[in-house]
């Protein structure tokens, strides 16, 4: 009910809305950079009675602010839009920060300004942490604008099926684009007058011309991937007559839509499978990330065994939770700590600590080291799920299953995303920085289940 009330509030049309939001993002990043530098300065001095400002601090602050904003613009941080749970944006943020830190150091060197290397590194770590939370809070700011009806363009979606409703959900998750979906159109009589996900169904094809003539919407999205071409052409003719911009989903079966990517060759659009690299460097990167987390986790695992031995026999604290299928159809046993280690006070405290910090997965460090599992990758599938997996989803077996991934973040954030699409998005955008951003996002709030 609350969602419906929010969707029916008055709409405020703001010209150049995405540009205004981009300026707000730049301003927030500048505030974040200066706030991080001030916090770094305070922490650097600690509880010392003498407050000392490092040499060339203000020059560093100005240079880092300018270079970071330029780097953020270069990597598209201020473009409207949003990907699955911001993991690609987090990767771009890490890239921008790395390039900005290197560019600032080079600029100061060319200006012959000496800097303290240790303080410089500490400063950029502080900036990284601060900007991460600034970008997380920016989503709340955009959601507040959406709830209050601030947008630039009102839009209709023709097609209230799975594709149309998902499109509406994605547009609402990216309010900085300035697009507000005001209604669905659908030719099915059973949906007439219905409200789907807080958005009303305003009619069918016969109502389209009247709605566009009344300027109820300034843009139309056609989400009919499985209808005859003649129907789509009729809708496009109405849009041309009323001079309304339109976009449409390609005519493909819905289960294949996430599997294709649009390209262009000399003005000719082509659709085909996206590149999913698994070359030498990709395998080396995945093994490096697995070992970087697996070896320390194995040390913690051995220490945890010694600790829980006090409360319970270590031979029974680890159990085999299930068997999953990984790269090439290999069967992997998922081992975890039990939820209870005994009835003593120390045993209960230890079990609670393991649950809060998610240390119950430490036994899986052996699978990481052996290469049976990856730190980041597709969702592990049970034997039953793997046996009935459709052919279009077998790309999941081209790489090791991951302990975490975009699918895992979706569950932690309680976002209704499809596991297959999450795996496709990871396969498309995978990189070292993306893996690191996914791991950091997974560990963001350890208490979530």
Confidence category of residue 6, pLDDT binned at 50, 70, 90: very low
Predicted TM-score (pTM) of the model is 0.75
What span, in angstroms and rounded, lies between the C-alpha atoms of 442 and 426? 15
302/431 same-domain check: yes
Q: What is the pLDDT of residues 172-212, one digit of tens each?
A: 888 888 888 999 999 888 888 899 988 999 999 999 999 99
Q: Is 10 within a domain?
A: no
Q: Is 381 within a domain?
A: yes
Q: Is 243 within a domain?
A: yes
Confidence category of residue 442, pLDDT binned at 50, 70, 90: confident
Residue 270 has pLDDT above 50, yes or no: yes
* Beta strands at 179-185 and 268-272: parallel, antiparallel or unpaired: unpaired
> Considering the chain, what is the average pLDDT of its residues?
81
Q: What is the pLDDT of residues 306-343, one digit of tens each?
A: 777 765 554 566 767 677 778 878 888 888 877 666 66
What span, in angstroms and rounded, lies between the C-alpha atoms of 419 and 187? 30
123/22 same-domain check: yes
211/179 same-domain check: yes
Instruction: Quote the pLDDT of residue 277.
Output: 57
The alpha helices in 180-279, defined as continuous H runs, are: 205-213, 229-241
* Mean pLDDT on 436-440: 86
Q: Tell which of 147, 182, 203 closes a domain.
A: 147
Higher-confidence residue of 9 and 399: namely 399
What span, in angstroms and rounded, lies between the C-alpha atoms of 398 and 172? 33
Query: Cβ–Cβ contacts within 10 Å for residue 342, how many?
Result: 17
**Structural domain boundaries, residue 170:** 152-251
CATH of the domain at 165: 3.40.50.720
142/183 same-domain check: no
Q: Is 7 within a domain?
A: no
Q: Is 271 within a domain?
A: no
Q: What is the pLDDT of residues 209-248, one digit of tens each?
A: 999 988 888 899 998 877 777 888 889 899 999 999 988 8
Q: Is 258 within a domain?
A: no
Tokens of 76: 């598209």
289/436 same-domain check: yes
143/90 same-domain check: yes
216/314 same-domain check: no
432/284 same-domain check: yes
Q: Is 262 within a domain?
A: no
Q: Tell which of 147, 181, 198 closes a domain.
A: 147
Q: Is 40 within a domain?
A: yes
325/417 same-domain check: yes
380/352 same-domain check: yes
Burial class of residue 422, CB neighbours in 10 A (0-12, 13-18, 19+): buried
90/104 same-domain check: yes
Those residues whose C-beta lies under 8 Å from the C-beta of residue 393, and which sit 6 or more positions away, are: 420
What span, in angstroms and rounded, lies between the C-alpha atoms of 373 and 351? 25
What span, in angstroms and rounded, lies between the C-alpha atoms of 97 and 131? 9
103/156 same-domain check: no
What span, in angstroms and rounded, lies between the C-alpha atoms of 131 and 108? 22
Instruction: Quote the pLDDT of residue 156.
Output: 94
Domain count within the chain: 3
């Amino acid at each position: 009910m609350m969602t419906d009330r929010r969707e029916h509030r008055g709409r405020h049309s703001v010209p150049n809305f995405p540009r205004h939001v981009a300026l707000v993002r730049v301003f927030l990043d500048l505030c974040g950079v200066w706030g991080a530098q001030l916090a770094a300065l305070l922490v650097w001095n600690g509880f010392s009675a003498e407050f000392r400002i490092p040499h060339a601090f203000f020059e560093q602050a100005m240079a880092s602010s300018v270079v970071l904003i330029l780097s953020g613009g270069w990597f598209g941080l201020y473009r409207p839009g949003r990907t699955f749970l911001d993991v690609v944006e987090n990767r771009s943020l890490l890239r921008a920060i790395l390039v900005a830190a290197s560019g600032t150091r080079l600029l100061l060197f060319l200006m012959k300004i000496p800097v303290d290397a240790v303080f410089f590194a500490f400063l950029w770590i502080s900036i990284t942490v601060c900007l991460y939370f600034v970008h997380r809070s920016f989503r709340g700011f955009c959601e507040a604008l959406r709830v209050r009806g601030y947008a630039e363009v009102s839009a209709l979606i023709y097609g209230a099926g799975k594709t149309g409703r998902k499109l509406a959900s994605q547009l609402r998750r990216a309010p900085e684009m300035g697009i507000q979906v005001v209604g669905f159109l659908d030719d099915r009589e059973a949906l007439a007058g219905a409200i789907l996900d807080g958005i009303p169904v305003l009619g069918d094809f016969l109502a389209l011309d009247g709605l566009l003539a009344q300027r109820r919407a300034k843009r139309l999205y056609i989400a009919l991937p499985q209808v005859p071409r003649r129907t789509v052409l009729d809708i496009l003719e109405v849009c041309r007559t009323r001079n309304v911009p339109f976009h449409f989903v390609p005519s493909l079966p819905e289960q294949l839509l996430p599997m294709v990517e649009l390209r262009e060759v000399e003005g000719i659009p082509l659709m085909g499978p996206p590149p999913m690299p698994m070359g030498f460097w990709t395998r080396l990167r995945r093994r490096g990330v697995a070992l970087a987390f697996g070896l320390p986790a194995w040390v913690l695992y051995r220490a945890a065994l010694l600790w829980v031995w006090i409360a319970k026999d270590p031979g029974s604290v680890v159990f085999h939770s299930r068997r999953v299928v990984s790269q090439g159809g290999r069967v992997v046993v998922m081992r975890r700590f039990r939820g209870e280690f005994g009835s003593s006070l120390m045993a209960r405290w230890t079990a609670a600590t393991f649950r809060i910090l998610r240390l119950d997965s430490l036994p899986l460090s052996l699978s990481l080291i052996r290469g049976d599992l990856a730190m980041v990758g597709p969702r592990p599938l049970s034997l039953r799920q793997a046996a009935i997996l459709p052919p279009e989803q077998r790309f999941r077996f081209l790489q090791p299953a991951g302990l975490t991934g975009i699918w895992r973040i979706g569950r932690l954030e309680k976002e209704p995303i499809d596991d297959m699409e999450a795996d496709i998005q990871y396969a498309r955008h995978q990189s070292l920085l993306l893996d690191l951003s996914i791991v950091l996002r997974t560990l963001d709030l350890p208490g979530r289940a």
